[in-house]
């Protein structure tokens, strides 16, 4: 039986950097989700770019490529990922903003893709919603969260807040009360709902109260560099 990967994923993400592609909006979605992201074309090592990209894709758990603006660099990264796909765990996902591009090139038209229209969490239309429901939902701890936070009522908003808290702990040691307010911004969750999210994360051992403080810290190793 294959060993379950309990840590949250390292993901290689390829997207255009030029033209009208909204890099900031696109990356903001990933920043608010518990991915440890490696972006294409950003490594300034002295190795040849192809070797760098291949290495980054190989050391990631899987890759995500946005083909909304058909871009030769992203196409090259996708080709490298296809070459590494012989290992089952080295899978990849294709994203397509249907307001920017209604179709992908014919040679990859048969590959399943995640289609979105906005850079938010709108049901079945937002990039965040697509990533959560079709990519992150397969992760061990996310499945645990989904069982503990039913989707009914404010469940979807509570899930987003829980994921944002885990994402915050990717780059910060603590979640303070002020951090909680920022993390919950836009969800319109009441204090009782926010407390429920915190309790779920505590019960799962993902966070714990910092000794002598009102802040919370990681309850386990969530990310592996």
DSSP the chain: -PPP--SPPEEEEE---STT--HHHHHHHHHTTT-EEEETT----SS-HHHHHHHHHHTSSEEEEE-SS--HHHHHHHHHHHHHTTSTT--EEEEEETTT-S---GGGTTS--EEESBSS--TTTBHHHHHHHHTGGGSHHHHHHHHHS-STTTHHHHHHHHHHHHHHHHH-SEE-HHHHHHHHTTT---HHHHHHHHHHHHHTTSEEEPTTSS-EEESS-----
State the pLDDT at residue 116.
93
> In this structure, how many other beta carbons lie within 10 angstroms of the beta carbon of residue 54?
17
State the pLDDT at residue 82.
81
State the pLDDT at residue 137.
92
State the pLDDT at residue 102.
56
State the pLDDT at residue 43.
47
State the pLDDT at residue 183.
95
State the pLDDT at residue 3.
67
State the pLDDT at residue 153.
87
State the pLDDT at residue 193.
95
Q: What pTM value is reported for the model?
A: 0.87
State the pLDDT at residue 47.
61
State the pLDDT at residue 83.
79
Among candidate residues 133, 146, 159, 169, the one with its CA nearest the CA of residue 8: 169
Those residues of the chain that have pLDDT short of 70 are: 1-3, 41-47, 85-90, 101-112
State the pLDDT at residue 166.
97
């Amino acid at each position: 039986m294959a060993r379950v990967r309990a840590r949250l994923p390292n993901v290689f993400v390829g997207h255009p950097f030029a033209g009208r592609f909204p890099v900031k909006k696109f990356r903001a979605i990933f920043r608010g989700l518990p991915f440890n992201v490696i972006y294409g074309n950003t490594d300034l090592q002295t190795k040849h770019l192809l070797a760098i990209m291949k290495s980054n894709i190989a050391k990631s758990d899987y890759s995500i490529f946005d083909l909304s603006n058909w871009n030769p660099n992203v196409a090259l990264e996708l080709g490298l990922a296809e070459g590494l796909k012989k290992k089952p765990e080295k899978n990849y996902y294709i994203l397509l903003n249907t307001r920017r591009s209604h179709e992908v090139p014919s040679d990859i038209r048969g590959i399943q893709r995640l289609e979105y229209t906005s850079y938010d969490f709108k049901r079945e239309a937002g990039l965040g919603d697509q990533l959560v429901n079709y990519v992150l939902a397969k992760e061990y701890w996310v499945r645990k969260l989904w069982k503990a936070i039913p989707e009914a009522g404010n469940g979807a908003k509570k899930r987003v807040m829980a994921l944002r808290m885990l994402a915050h702990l990717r780059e910060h040691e603590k979640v303070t009360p002020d951090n909680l307010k920022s993390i919950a911004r836009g969800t319109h969750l009441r204090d009782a709902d926010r407390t429920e999210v915190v309790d779920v994360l505590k019960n799962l051992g993902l966070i714990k109260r910092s000794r002598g403080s009102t802040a919370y810290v990681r309850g386990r190793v969530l990310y592996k560099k």
